[in-house]
Structure 1
Amino acid sequence: NFSCLLHKVTYNFTFSIIILIFIVGGFIILLLSIAFTRYQSIVESKDTFPVGNITQDIILDCTFDPSSVNGKLAVDATITWTKDGLGGVVYLYQDRAAQLQNQNLQFRNRAELFQNAIAVGNASLLLRNITVEDPGTYRCGVSAPSGHGTVSIQLRVAAYSAPSFTETNNSILTAVANTWFPEPNVTWSDHAGNILNGNTSLFTNYNRISRVLSRLEQPVLLNETYTFLIQNNLVKSVSSATITGTGVLETTSFTFSTSPMLLPKWLSLLISLHPWLCWRL
């Protein structure tokens, strides 16, 4: 009987310990959950995979919670922009002013914040005159009165432009788009989506940027609308060209890949060195 009683007590004690472990574990998880919710990142971006157009400007979106705490305002935040693989900073805002002593030379006179908008939580970066050296992973880090956090933005770089259309006297429709990179594919179609034959030439310069020249191989019809598609792995351009009798009525829209694919670093380097290599040869 004593043995059975001892066994029962041991069993109850072990069961109680197990229950206690589960209770304590659940309490710890609850505390961690509350802490994570309280201190989660206050920084976000509406576009984490943007596509920049070579020679044009781009805004890398970054916003944060501008709430004031203990008399500290959003303008008292520290905003740090960096790029993976590069020393120095892309841009640093601290003590209510730009601090550019440690700025990487690649971004000198090309990067800036919208300082008048920091008070409302805007930490976005304006990057001017996009080049083939700019693609990569950028990080927007903010330490503000309301909290802190970081968001990553993967910038891809392309070259794209809307085509212009002309109709010759023999009713041949021609499209010209001056800048495209990477090398695109081209398709003509009619209003019903039927693929039409076209003759396309790409004229590529030493920077690997292509000029697209394409013409339909059949005469166009009055009041007919034709679709001209230019696309590569980053950008798609869809143009509608309507033959009016007095000219061509045209519209173009662009869509961008949301895939996080980046231009390989070796390719960017090769492109940037291409003029020098040609000169050496």
Structure 2
Amino acid sequence: MATFGQIIFCSMITLIVLFSAIIILILALALSGSTSEVISTNTWPIGNLGEDQLLSCYVNTDSQAKLTKVSVTWEKKDLSGLVYKYQNAAPVLGDQNSQFKGRTQLFPDALVTGNASLLLRAVRSTDAGVYTCAISSSTAGGKVNINLRTAAFSAPTFNVLDGNLVATASRWFPKPHVTWLKYGNKVLNGITNFTEDTAGMFSVVSKLQPVNISDTYTCRIENNLVTAVSEATVTGVSGVSENTYFTYSAASSLLASTYLSIMTTVLCIYYLT
């Protein structure tokens, strides 16, 4: 049976954690930079190094009327100059930072519907950071922050060689971890080798033995940002049927705080009983 002091102690701890979660929520909303009707479909995108990335930004309105006098400014935190600017129906790039020259693009035909998404070409590691998209028009406006993270990832290819099921992925960064599974959750012993090139990219070669024809194996290649999940079915002595999908990290301090609050409450209940 819990004492009165124990009840007071657990109640205070729970309240502190709950208040912390509320404060983090308020800060998250403030730091997101979202005002008025401007939003993004993905405020934590992950750009694949060397490939193009679309940073979404648009006016969230139910109105079907086209916007007029649209002005858009894209900026990056702690960067001198602009990422991109559009005003008076034309790009205004005199103050554009040299890092983005020739690598950014809006879609003028989409601006009248409130879509000011930015296409960033050939993503670089230096592109990572917080971007602010600001839209103004005759009827609506505001801004939103997008936190771009960068990584390198590629889907593996599979083949059977000397009785081994071999997964080969050409480019990963940060360095990933490889796990082989069977029937969804049974961990298998594989042998994985990494090769790092002069740019810091890792190529992955992972082997699994023995394998059986008609059996399906799962290969997970993952780092803290991206996970590639591949289902590989051995169809013959050298044949493999494969399918890969990617998942992306979207963890936030708010989710962590909420989890901590729940766990604290559970532990207190356990402690009091």
RMSD: 1.7
Aligned match of 1:77: 70
CA distance in 1: counterparts of 2:200 and 2:252, whole angstroms: 22
Secondary structure (helix, strand or coil) at the match of 1:240 reads strand
- 8 A Cα contact 1:68 1:145, kept in partner: no
TM-score of the superposed pair, with normalisation by structure 1: 0.74
The letter for the 2-side match of 1:210 is F
Is 1:144–2:158 an aligned residue pair?
no
Q: Which amino acid aligns with 1:154?
A: N
* Among candidates 220, 239, 244, match of residue 229 of structure 1: 220
- Map 1:103-252; keep pairs closer than 5 Å: 103-168=96-161, 170-216=162-208, 218-245=209-236, 247-252=239-244
Deviates more, 1:77-86 or 1:242-251: 242-251
Counterpart-to-counterpart distance in 2, 1:233 and 1:82 = 27
Deviation sequence 1:24-81 (CA, Å, 0-9, x none): xxxxxxxxxxxxxxxx612000100000000000000000157599xxx524211000
Change (3 A) 1:43 1:176: same
Alpha-carbon distance change, 68 to 256 in structure 1, aligned in 2, over 3 angstroms: closer
Q: 1:68 and 1:97 mapped to 2: Cα distance? A: 23
Looking at structure 2, the residues matched to 130 and 74 of structure 1 have their Cα atoms a distance apart, in angstroms, of 30
C-alpha separation in 2, matches of 1:48 and 1:186: 28
Runs of 4+ in structure 1 over 4 Å off: 65-69
Q: 1:214 to 1:42 in 2, by over 3 A?
A: same
Residues 173 and 201 of structure 2 are in contact (CA less than 8 Å); yes or no, is this contact kept in structure 1?
A: yes
Among the aligned pairs, what percent are the same residue? 44
Conserved? CA contact 2:178–2:219, under 8 Å: yes
Task: Say which SS state the counterpart of residue 133 (structure 1) adopts.
Answer: helix
Tell me if 1:63 matches 2:58. Answer: yes
Which residue of structure 2 lines up, in the alignment, with residue 256 of structure 1? 248
Q: Could you tell me whether the CA contact under 8 Å between 1:52 and 1:157 is conserved in 2? A: yes
Task: Give the TM-score, by structure 2 length.
Answer: 0.76
Note the alpha carbon deviations across 1:125-151, whole angstroms, 9 max, x for none. 000000110000000001111232110
Distance change (3 Å), C-alpha of 1:58 and 1:47: same
- Among residues 82, 87, 101, which one is paired with 1:89 in the alignment? 82
1:45 aligns with 2:37: no
Looking at structure 2, the residues matched to 46 and 155 of structure 1 have their Cα atoms a distance apart, in angstroms, of 13
Distance in 2 (alpha carbons) for counterparts of 1:259 and 1:114: 30
2:57·2:118 contact (CA, 8 Å) conserved in 1?
yes
| In 1, Cα distance between equivalents of 2:46 and 2:67 | 29
Task: Tell me the distance in 2 between the aligned counterparts of 1:192 and 1:45.
Answer: 34
Question: Does the CA-based 8 Å contact 1:52-1:156 persist in structure 2?
Answer: yes
Deviation by residue 1:225-251 (Cα, 9 ceiling, x = unmatched)? 000000000000000100111610000
Q: Work out the CA distance in 1 between the residues paired with 2:252 and 2:173.
A: 17
Cα distance in 2 for partners of 1:42, 1:80 equals 16
Instruction: Tell me how far apart the structure 1 counterparts of residues 159 and 180 of structure 2 sit (CA, whole Å).
Output: 15
Q: Aligned residue for 2:17?
A: none
Residues in 2 aligned to 1:141 and 1:209: alpha-carbon distance in whole angstroms? 34
Aligned mates of 1:227, 1:192 — CA distance in 2: 7
